[in-house]
């Protein structure tokens, strides 16, 4: 971080949401050089108070003029709001870090996981920088070090995605539905099409004509872009599970070179942002409760795949509200500072 910079005006669009709340916390905890923090949301929230550690802000409406004096705006509302307002912010001289899917596959927009491809931000000052899909970001924190060691050819992944990935309303639904069902009462689902408590849904995001969901295709398309690996093959099934926070995934990956479990473990240990949690004989493996509100993603259950050539099976867990969204966005902002773009 550039130590001489200490006067940045930063806005959060979607500040009342699940990701927005984490952004407020992480910008402060990581000592991002804030002169002013402007919290924006929909017209419904105007005038609401948001507090963190004794500081209080009043929510303003996210509209074009709100970006007039800002240096940086982190968007975490929705794709349609980013499509409408991010270009307005850029036209007003603001750099945008966007958590939505609106610009991720735009060839002119960098899509960044700093530990993997911060270099794409080095030379040119960007207008918009996209933050990847949450499960893609977490999966790559396990796969990238193995790609460096053995050359990733293709992978198969099934996700176990926490309800906070859907947003604040889904967290409330799981909590309230669990309480209601335990009390023997009914609780009609509102956020999800079916009951999520004591259940799971093999369905994240909307279905496409070929039977995959949009979320599943993000793993392929965003994975190729971030790894700069256009021939990467991915087959993904995304599942919503009744976990509050942190996504987990079971990955079976095939590599170009022969694999070794010990080299794979060393690769994970040497990669910043991930930690090896892999000692099955002592029942040590990553779990969502241990990786909530944690900077590192956990990688475990590493073993030779029994069905693939040069294959490894692994289990990856990461806080999708952090590494899949708020933390990654703040880390991108730190890189923008380091490279002198802010
Ligand atoms: N949750 C995750 O783990 C995760 C991970 C990666 C990416 N993302 C992406 O991050 C974004 C936010 O997700 P979330 O989980 O934080 O959702 P959320 O909890 O539902 O929050 C949505 C936020 O958007 C705001 N908003 C809604 N309509 C708006 C409008 N017309 N103008 C301005 N703001 C508006 C809401 O403000 P009000 O309170 O005023 O309605 C709220 O602050 C989404 O694009 C999502 O895909 C989320």
The domain that holds 292 is classified in CATH as 3.30.360.10
Q: Are residues 232 and 276 in the same domain?
A: yes
With tokens 């539905």, the residue in question is 177
Distance 236 CA to ligand 1 centre (A): 25
5 pLDDT band (50/70/90 cuts)?
A: low
329 in a domain, yes or no? yes
**d(CA 284, ligand 1 centre) in Å:** 34
Q: What is the mean pLDDT of the chain?
A: 97
- Tokens representing residue 138 in the block: 């977490």
304 and 243 housed in the same domain = yes
User: Quick one: pLDDT band at residue 151, thresholds 50, 70, 90?
Assistant: very high
Answer whether residue 1 shows pLDDT above 80: no
User: What pLDDT was estimated at residue 36?
Assistant: 96
Residue 3 placed within a domain: no
**What digits encode the pLDDT tens for the residues 124-148?**
999 999 999 999 999 999 999 999 9
The pLDDT of residue 137 is 98
Q: What percent of the chain has pLDDT over 90?
A: 98
User: CATH number of the domain that 80 lies in?
Assistant: 3.40.50.720
Statement to judge: residues 192 and 288 lie in one domain: yes
Q: How many CA atoms lie within 13 A of 325 on its CB side?
A: 32
Judge if 171 and 36 occupy the same domain: no
Phi-psi region of 47 (alpha: psi -120 to 50; beta: other; left: phi over 0): left
> CA 119, CA 116: separation in Å to the nearest integer?
8
For residue 263, give both structure tokens. 């080299």
Model confidence at 2: pLDDT above 60: no
pLDDT value at position 6? Answer: 65
Same domain? For 43 and 56 the reply is yes
Q: Note the pLDDT of residue 4.
A: 55
88 and 211, same domain (yes or no):
no
Say if residue 297 is in the same domain as residue 153. Answer: yes
If you search the block for the tokens 């870090």, which residue do you land on? 97
pLDDT at position 100: 97
Same domain, 112 and 185: no
| Ligand 1 atom 3 nearest Cα | 165
Distance 11 CA to ligand 1 centre (A): 14
Domain membership of residue 312 (yes or no) is yes
Smallest CA separation from ligand 1 atom 41, residue: 42
Tell me if 1 is assigned to some domain: no
**Quick one: which atom of ligand 1 is closest to the CA of 168?**
19
pLDDT score recorded for residue 333: 98
* Residue 121, domain member (yes or no): yes
* Span 219-242, average pLDDT: 98
CB-based pocket (< 6 A), ligand 1: 13-20, 41-42, 44-45, 62, 76-79, 81, 99-100, 134, 164-165, 167-169, 320-321, 324-325
Q: Tell me: do 118 and 151 sit in the same domain.
A: no
- What's the mean pLDDT in 91-118? 98
Strand partners, 13: 40, 75
Q: What is the mean pLDDT of residues 256-281?
A: 98
SS (H, E, C) the chain: CCCCCCCEEEEEECCCCHHHHHHHHHHHHCCCCEEEEEEEECHHHCCCEEEECCEEEECEECCHHHHCCCCEEEECCCHHHHHHHHHHHHHCCCEEEECCCCCCCCCCCCECCHHHHHHHHCCCCCCEEECCCHHHHHHHHHHHHHHHHHCEEEEEEEEEECHHHCCHHHHHHHHHHHHHHHCCCCCCCCCCCCCCCCCCECCCCCECCCCCEHHHHHHHHHHHHHHCCCCCEEEEECCECCCCCCEEEEEEEEECCCCCHHHHHHHHHCCCCEEECCEHHHCECCCHHHHCCCCCEEEEEEEECCCCCCEEEEEEEECCCHHHHHHHHHHHHHHHHHCCCC
Give the per-residue pLDDT at 210. 97
Query: Is residue 51 scored above 80 in pLDDT?
Result: yes
Share of the chain above pLDDT 70, in %: 98
Total domains, the chain: 2
Boundaries of domain holding 115: 8-131+325-338
Same domain, 150 and 124: no
Q: Are residues 188 and 50 in the same domain?
A: no
Q: Does residue 162 carry a pLDDT above 60?
A: yes
With 90 as the cut, is the pLDDT of residue 172 above it?
yes
Atom of ligand 1 nearest to the CA of 79: 45
In a domain, 34, yes or no: yes
2 inside domain: no
Mean pLDDT over residues 64-83, rounded? 97
What mean pLDDT do residues 243-264 have?
Answer: 98
pLDDT single digits (tens) 299-325? 999 999 999 999 999 999 999 999 999
Beta bridge partners of 279: 284
User: pLDDT digits over 26-40, tens only?
Assistant: 999 999 999 999 999
Cβ atoms 120, 146 nearer than 8 A:
no
Q: What residues have CB less than 8 Å from 202, skipping those under 6 apart?
A: 237, 238, 239
For the stretch 181-210, pLDDT in tens is 999 999 999 999 999 999 999 999 999 999
Q: Which residues, listed in sequence order, are joined to residue 95 by a DSSP beta bridge?
A: 72
59 with 190, same domain: the answer is no
User: Any idea which residues carry the catalytic annotation?
Assistant: 134, 247
Cα(291) to ligand 1 centroid in Å equals 22
Q: Residue 287: inside a domain, yes or no?
A: yes
């Amino acid at each position: 971080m550039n130590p001489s910079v200490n006067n940045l005006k930063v806005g959060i669009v979607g500040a009342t949401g699940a990701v927005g709340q984490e952004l407020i916390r992480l910008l402060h905890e990581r000592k991002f050089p804030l002169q002013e923090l402007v919290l924006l949301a929909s017209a419904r929230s105007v005038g609401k108070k948001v507090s963190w550690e004794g500081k209080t802000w009043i929510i303003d409406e996210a509209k074009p003029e709100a970006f007039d004096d800002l240096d940086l705006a982190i968007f975490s509302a929705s794709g349609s709001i980013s499509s409408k307002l991010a270009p307005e912010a850029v036209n007003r001289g603001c750099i945008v870090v966007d958590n939505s899917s609106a610009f991720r596959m735009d060839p002119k927009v960098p899509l960044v996981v700093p530990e993997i491809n911060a270099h794409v931000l080095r030379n040119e000052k960007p207008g918009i920088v996209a933050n990847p899909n949450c499960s893609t970001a977490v999966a790559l924190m396990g796969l990238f070090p193995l790609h460096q060691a053995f050359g990733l050819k293709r992978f198969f992944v099934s996700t176990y995605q926490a309800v906070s990935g859907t947003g604040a309303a889904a967290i409330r639904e799981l909590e309230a539905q669990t309480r209601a069902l335990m009390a023997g009462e009914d609780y009609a689902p509102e956020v999800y099409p079916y009951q999520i408590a004591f259940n799971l849904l093999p369905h994240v995001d909307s279905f496409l004509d070929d039977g995959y969901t949009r979320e599943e295709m993000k793993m392929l398309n965003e994975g190729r872009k971030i790894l700069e690996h256009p021939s990467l093959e991915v087959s993904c099934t995304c599942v919503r599970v009744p976990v509050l926070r942190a996504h987990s995934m079971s990955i079976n990956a095939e590599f170009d070179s022969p694999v070794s479990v010990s080299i794979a473990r060393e690769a994970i240990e040497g990669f910043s942002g991930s930690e090896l949690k892999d000692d099955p004989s002592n029942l040590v493996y990553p779990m969502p409760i241990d990786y909530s509100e944690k900077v590192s993603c956990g990688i475990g259950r590493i073993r030779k795949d029994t069905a693939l050539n040069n294959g490894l099976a692994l289990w990856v867990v990461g806080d999708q509200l952090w590494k899949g969204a708020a933390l990654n966005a703040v880390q991108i902002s730190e890189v923008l500072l380091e490279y002198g773009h802010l």
